[in-house]
Structure 1
Amino acid sequence: MTTSDGRVIHQLADGDAVFVAMETAEAPCHIAGLSILDPATRADFGFETFLEVLSQRIALIPRLRWKLREVPLGLDCAYWIEDPAFDVREHVRRVALAAPGDRTTLARLSSFLHAQPLDRARPLWECWWIEGLESGRIAVLIKLHHCLVDGQSGMGLTEILMDLSPEPGQTPIAATGAEEGLPRAPKPWEMGRRVVENGLRRQARMAMHAGRALRAFARVPTALPGALVRALPQSLFAGDEEIVPRVSWNASRLSRHRDFAFTKLPLSPLRELKKHFGVKLNDVLLALVGGALRSVLLERGELPEASLVALCPVSLREAGDQSMGNQLTSMPVRLATHLADPVERLRAIHESADGAKQRTREGAFEFITALGESLAPAALHFVMQTAHRAPRIAPMPGNLVCSNVRGLPIPTYMAGARVEELYPMSMLQVGSGMNVTAVSHDDQVDVGFLVDPRLVPDPWLFADRLAEVLAELEAAAARTTAKPPRAPRVEIPAEGEPVDLAILMATVRRKRGPR
């Protein structure tokens, strides 16, 4: 809605408002990226240099200068307004690691910083410059509230801070797309009118979602509370899906603490496995995660008979959409942790993922999305708080969230320093004390394990196990016959387009297209 002064009233979309309503002290709803930089690629690289480039790039992202204005009594979604006191230095902090500055020390500090909620009275992001790493490296931790971005748009925002060479250019790698204009706070009568209009819209959507929910619950028992499923005869269900088994990190409540572990894997072997077995790259990543979970749980005597289930976010963005905000859904994929053979596990995951994608394309019912579109923020907040206090009566569609975000397949630089590693730190959801997120970039895959340390005392056991599972899968591939490769996709540059740019963008499209 554009006003006479050219400003725009920006209201949170339902999908973004969910992350505000569901946030608690135990489950803050922000995501982060931990970049490890090599300062040797620019002689004058330092904190002030980084801050100067960051300030220039923030000017290209208007939404990072906005803050939330809540609607009284939570009757409607909040509004974005410009922060008149915005100062980039208020969002950038400088800290140093204690000796020895190794990966464990970095992970411990990063997880502590990540556990702290963002201040809603200010724009919902912050940046931490971390010095003291071994070998003279610098780490940069950038936190963003999930109501601002989803995983892919968050990656795009990070790329705005990056360049293709050590010399920062005038134009960054990525752009956010056109913003709708500078925001202003709605007048009381405008806010009141929207409360009524949006309230009527929510009632209509509630009726629509109620019908879809009944049909979905009749098909998929994992969409129902576990206690109710066990109390009902299985003959009521049309499908043959198993109930999601509970493991140690599917406890009743989360603590306010976080722990973090990370590892990097070469991308080339994963591509070879993808080609060899005729599966998606995401299937290979899920097979590695499933193998690591199986291995650790088996050692502890905690491996359930039924397969663990990962909730995998799926982007709903159209090609070329670089806007911020959330455009995603999720699909449950069985990780085949009950299978000892790594090849059987990979093929089972591929089959499960294909089935989940088909159900997603058919418009599978999304419980949280339906709540966000049907309830006012105050009611949604009450429902989510109740779920946090008693998650065993809430739906548990998966054991953990497992996500894969595509980055650029070429070297990148931040304020002149080479980005050597880029570890994602996501968020934990009620009922699940583990999240695994991977970022593929520059011919490697960086994987982050975010956990509640009360439920997962040593996340490094899982992170370090990935390399072993990869070696096991490679050895198994050497003993099996390769699947015939598909014909390569040919992309023709547009007329007049520079050849080098065409090659680069074709590469990026291949990386970010369906896998």
Structure 2
Amino acid sequence: MLLPMSPTDSMFLLGESRDHPMHVGGLALFEPPDGANARDVRAMLDAALARGTVAPLLRKRARRSATTLGQWGWDTDVAVDLDHHVRHDALPAPGGTTQLMELVARLHSGLLDRSRPLWEMHLIEGLTDGRFAVYMKIHHALADGVSAMKLLRSALSEDPDTTGMPAPWEPLVRERPALHLVPDPPTSSAGRLDLPAAALRAARGAAGDVAGMLPAIAATLGRASRGHGGPLTLSAPKSMLNVPIGGARRFAARSWPLERLRLVAKFADATVNDVVLAMCSGALRIYMRDQGALPTEPLIAMVPVSLRGERQETKAGNEIGVLMCNLATHLTDPAGRLDTVRASMREGKDAMRTRSSAQILAMSALGTAPLALGMFGIGGPIRPPNVMISNVPGPSTPLYWNGARMSALYPLSIPVDGQALNITCTSTDEQIAFGLTACRRALPPLAPLLDHLDDELGDLEQAVGL
């Protein structure tokens, strides 16, 4: 069956090329359970391969046909060649972090095969400390960063003694034939009135969205013209980050105790996400200054905001709004940068608070338009925001796969034309991990940026009196 694909999701297919892969990914590191090693984990994954079962989301293949008038749709029940999608890799000596990041950067550079479901998973062995790694990538048309991280975590357990767990590509519960039940008729006049009343409420909500759309967009333009926080910026400076990109990638990642960021946020009356943005601000300031490429005007970050409710967490596709944040990279004082970030994000959240999801998506479309045009090689009068910075919170407890503890989870994302660096964070087991994905041709090595993030967190702690 071919199901329609939303215009937002299809944009990631239409804008993809060899130099512009459109997939997100995750790198998870695991410690084998006591008495086991990476070879034992490989044996468990090989057993899962032999079972040959695949979750419904990962059986979907992007396809166009006459029935969709040439538009992209989802073929929902495709035969999956697991030997193609699940692969084994080994690190070269000495098998350290540098070799792991270089391998993952190469894996993240390659396009997914559109004739198949749009995902891959790699089991990586050969780490000198005895751990093993799992790298998974999935096309952005199929899942945004939030749902991709949830997909990976859904295969894990908080119980280290749980065994017999499915592999990340398998259904969480063995699929059973659907039962076609005839619903019971309503038993009262109140029941018969429920459906029309719900439809009427939905119609009123849709009408309200349409009526509020033009005022929402007008307000967005007004805020941007005054330099206030919101879904659109008109003040992003030209920088080394805002250039055409190639297909090769750089990747670097590191984790910090989440409690350190919480304490800074508490003492500064800010949020953890504000602290993440302030760390990135200080780190980018030094990184670009060392290249002789720091703009005199402050960098502007695009910050994705998930619009998913609790019932939508496992839904495929993309439900994302954006806010633009002034990173205050023109200021030398870490406390001043954090204050500016906090004020900018509060302004943006205030602008969204009274809007519906549909209105927020329309407002966000204005902000992302320069990047969307760049995906198709079309320039515009407005420069895109300088860098994407996102933060995907996760569980605070340790997670395990068949007794193997996940010791780190690093996200990988998508650089695009006009935005050669993407910084994505995710937290798990009381650690927050920063994943830096960049165009290899546009930017120098990213390892110094990790050191600058560490220095900036220390400077922020000192600035708030910790």
TM-score per shorter chain, which class?
0.7 to 0.9
Q: Which residue in 1 is equivalent to 2:13?
A: 20
Per-residue deviation, 1:137: 1.5
**Residues 155-304 of structure 1 correspond to what in structure 2 (within 5 A)?**
155-169=149-163, 215=218, 218-219=221-222, 237=225, 243-251=235-243, 253-304=244-295
Candidates 11, 24, 32, aligned match of 2:25: 32
Residue 446 and residue 283 in structure 1: after superposition, are their counterparts in 2 closer, same or farther (change >3 A)?
A: same
| Structure 1 Cα separation of the partners of residues 432 and 371 of structure 2 | 34
2:332 maps to 1:345: no
| Structure 1 Cα separation of the partners of residues 363 and 49 of structure 2 | 38
Candidates 113, 116, 127, aligned match of 1:119: 113
Q: Which residue in 1 is equivalent to 2:418?
A: 431
Q: Do the aligned residues in 2 keep the contact of 1:57 with 1:160 (CA within 8 Å)?
A: no
Q: Which residue in 2 is equivalent to 1:478?
A: 465
Candidates 436, 442, 446, aligned match of 2:433: 446
2:125 maps to 1:134: no
The code of the aligned residue for 1:325 comes to G
| Structure 1 Cα separation of the partners of residues 51 and 311 of structure 2 | 24
**% identical aligned pairs:** 32
Residue 333 and residue 385 in structure 1: after superposition, are their counterparts in 2 closer, same or farther (change >3 A)?
A: closer
| Structure 1 Cα separation of the partners of residues 167 and 131 of structure 2 | 23
Candidates 149, 152, 160, aligned match of 2:146: 152
The code of the aligned residue for 1:104 comes to T
Q: Do the aligned residues in 2 keep the contact of 1:176 with 1:324 (CA within 8 Å)?
A: no
| Structure 2 Cα separation of the partners of residues 52 and 416 of structure 1 | 16
| Structure 2 Cα separation of the partners of residues 478 and 460 of structure 1 | 28
Q: Which residue in 2 is equivalent to 1:308?
A: 299
3-state SS of paired residue (1:122)? coil
| Structure 2 Cα separation of the partners of residues 56 and 471 of structure 1 | 49
Q: Do the aligned residues in 2 keep the contact of 1:408 with 1:441 (CA within 8 Å)?
A: yes
Please, which runs of 5 or more residues in structure 1 have no aligned partner? Answer: 1-7, 183-206, 222-236, 373-379, 480-515
Q: Do the aligned residues in 1 keep the contact of 2:251 with 2:446 (CA within 8 Å)?
A: yes
| Structure 2 Cα separation of the partners of residues 400 and 23 of structure 1 | 19
Q: Do the aligned residues in 1 keep the contact of 2:59 with 2:79 (CA within 8 Å)?
A: no
Q: Do the aligned residues in 1 keep the contact of 2:321 with 2:360 (CA within 8 Å)?
A: no
| Structure 1 Cα separation of the partners of residues 87 and 297 of structure 2 | 46
2:409 maps to 1:409: no
Aligned length: 422
Superposed CA deviations along residues 180-238 of structure 1, whole A, max 9, x for unmatched, are x99xxxxxxxxxxxxxxxxxxxxxxxx999967973685266xxxxxxxxxxxxxxx56
Per-residue deviation, 1:347: 1.3
| Structure 2 Cα separation of the partners of residues 117 and 212 of structure 1 | 41
Q: Do the aligned residues in 2 keep the contact of 1:156 with 1:176 (CA within 8 Å)?
A: no
**Residues 460-475 of structure 1 correspond to what in structure 2 (within 5 A)?**
460-475=447-462
Per-residue deviation, 1:90: 2.4
TM score, norm. by length of structure 2: 0.81
3-state SS of paired residue (1:163)? coil
The code of the aligned residue for 1:312 comes to V
Per-residue deviation, 1:277: 1.2
The code of the aligned residue for 2:427 comes to S
Single out whichever of 38-47 and 398-407 deviates more from structure 2: 38-47
Q: Do the aligned residues in 2 keep the contact of 1:163 with 1:172 (CA within 8 Å)?
A: no
Candidates 390, 393, 403, aligned match of 2:380: 393
Per-residue deviation, 1:84: 4.3
| Structure 1 Cα separation of the partners of residues 20 and 68 of structure 2 | 20
| Structure 2 Cα separation of the partners of residues 399 and 353 of structure 1 | 16
Per-residue deviation, 1:367: 7.2
Q: Do the aligned residues in 2 keep the contact of 1:34 with 1:423 (CA within 8 Å)?
A: yes
| Structure 2 Cα separation of the partners of residues 173 and 90 of structure 1 | 15
| Structure 1 Cα separation of the partners of residues 49 and 258 of structure 2 | 29
Residue 64 and residue 302 in structure 1: after superposition, are their counterparts in 2 closer, same or farther (change >3 A)?
A: same
| Structure 2 Cα separation of the partners of residues 397 and 39 of structure 1 | 44
Q: Which residue in 2 is equivalent to 1:504?
A: none
Residue 165 and residue 306 in structure 1: after superposition, are their counterparts in 2 closer, same or farther (change >3 A)?
A: same
Per-residue deviation, 1:298: 2.3
Q: Which residue in 1 is equivalent to 2:310?
A: 319
